[in-house]
Amino acid sequence: MVATFKIAVLGAQGVGKSAIVRQFLYNEFSEVCVPTTARRVYLPAVVMNGHVHDLQIMDFPPITAFPVNTLQEWADVCCRGLRSVHAYILVYDICCFDSFEYIKTIRQQILETR
């Protein structure tokens, strides 16, 4: 049986979340910034240590706050599936202090609610 690992990519607008996912999946990079307005789900398979693993990579648009419970998660279409992931990739722009503050806040909310 192949296990599916769920991964959420979170960060402020324009920090390169989608670019990082596309670089990982397709080994391509685009200079054009297209804002993510809805959650995008990618379903690649990877081989690690001789075993095949399915991934579910979810690229989220910026969220106002991490959902504190399942009801809040499902009430906001953008946040669906966010609380049940196995790992979070938190992305910020090293040249933008506000994006770092945003990710610090989201990280703290994740720690408090999970």
End-to-end alpha carbon distance in the chain: 27
Q: What CATH number does the domain containing 53 carry? A: 3.40.50.300
Residue among 31, 114, 17 nearest 63 (CA): 17
pLDDT, residue 1, reads: 54
Parent domain of 71:
4-112
Q: Structure pTM?
A: 0.89
Question: How many domains does the chain fold into?
Answer: 1
pLDDT, residue 24, reads: 93
Question: Which parts of the chain register pLDDT below 70?
Answer: 1-2
Distance, in Å, from the CA atom of 22 to the CA atom of 42, rounded to the nearest integer, reads: 10
Q: What is the DSSP letter of 60?
A: P
3-class DSSP state for residue 98? helix
**Which alpha helices (DSSP H) does the chain contain, by range?**
17-26, 70-75, 97-113
